[in-house]
Amino acid sequence: MTLLDVRHLSKTYDRRPGPFAAAHPVHAVRDVSFTIARGETLGLVGESGSGKSTTGRCVLRLEAPSSGEVTFLGESVLSAAGDRLRALRRQMQIVFQDPYDSLNPRMRVRNIVLEPLEIHRIGTPSERQDRVASLLSLVGLDPAHADRWPRDFSGGQRQRIAIARALALEPAFIVADEPVSSLDVSVQAQVLNLLMDLQDRLGVAYLLIAHDLRMVERVCHRVAVMYGGRIVELASTASLFSAPAHPYTQSLLSAMPMIHPEMRNARTMYRPERADPDAPLRAIADGHWAAI
């Protein structure tokens, strides 16, 4: 069943190179379309500035898209208002990239996780406290430490707190915006394993924004590759990694680090001038689309 349906999403900013210069448009996201099913993880990959995070924010309406449509559980996210928007946002959450910035340093962990429950008036005060304890246990933290400050925890533990906060309202969908990129390598696998375990137990769907292709290959069901604000390839993970069709995807995969250097294929350099920047996605195999 389709949970999220994004159609022709675009976001344009007006930028001024100087205080007296004329504004010029910057197309951060251009005509992006994709779907996510219940319990699915869609990886969104590409270089910095390709529009990945902007896409995630527009899907959640943290930023207003310039055009397009976002449908969640059959209901328009972009036209919802008031109580309907509030109800939709209970089902759609985000885990930000940097747990050092995303947690309020002036709030104790208990209050950080409790805040969404209070805002949406879920349960009695006693039930909320029980919910906080169960959420901390769910993400592998000791509820006895709930009255500590964020500074008392490591980066990996802070990201677990952020995940607990995102899960407080029992969402069906989470945007995970590079959730492990700011963590030590030794901690990254622990957080990824937690996200995968939570998906198995709770059925939550993810839009996983990432640049680590090895991680994407491991945890995602499908992958969308972005370049210049557009999706240039979309396929199942197995299909994309075994038979990349777009030159940019081929270049990304050729740069992946290998455990054994002799396994590395020759590096493929992407030459934008040789590609049509406006080529539409077309089906090249079952469930595999590429802008070629």
Please state the separation of Cα 197 from the chain's center in Å: 17
Confidence of residue 258 (pLDDT cuts 50, 70, 90): low
Confidence of residue 19 (pLDDT cuts 50, 70, 90): confident
Q: What is the per-residue pLDDT for 259?
A: 61
pLDDT above 60 (res 26): yes
In a domain, 265, yes or no: yes
In a domain, 140, yes or no: no
Q: Please state the rounded mean pLDDT for residues 93-103.
A: 91
In a domain, 238, yes or no: yes
Greater confidence (177 vs 22) lies with 177
Q: Which pair of structure tokens corresponds to residue 236?
A: 């199942």
Q: Please state the rounded mean pLDDT for residues 86-104.
A: 92
The CATH number of residue 215's host domain is 3.40.50.300
Angle at 36 between CA 44 and CA 136, to 5 degrees: 80
pLDDT above 60 (res 260): no
Domain count, the chain: 1
In a domain, 62, yes or no: yes
- The model's pLDDT over 109-168, given as tens digits with 9 standing for 90+, comes to 999 999 999 999 999 999 999 999 999 999 999 999 999 999 999 999 999 999 999 999
The pTM of this model reads: 0.91
Enumerate residues 6+ apart whose C-beta is below 8 A from 209: 44, 45, 52, 53, 55, 56, 175, 176, 177, 178
pLDDT above 60 (res 266): yes
Q: Which pair of structure tokens corresponds to residue 237?
A: 């993970």
Cα separation, 208 vs 53, in Å, equals: 10
User: In which domain, by residue range, is 70 found?
Assistant: 2-16+24-83+210-290
Pairing mode, strands 288-290 and 230-236: antiparallel
In a domain, 197, yes or no: no
In a domain, 157, yes or no: no
In a domain, 131, yes or no: no
Residues of 149-180 as b/e, b for ≥16 C-beta within 10 angstroms?
ebeebebbbbbbbbbbbbbbbebbbbbbbbbb
Cα separation, 191 vs 215, in Å, equals: 11
In a domain, 261, yes or no: yes
pLDDT above 60 (res 190): yes
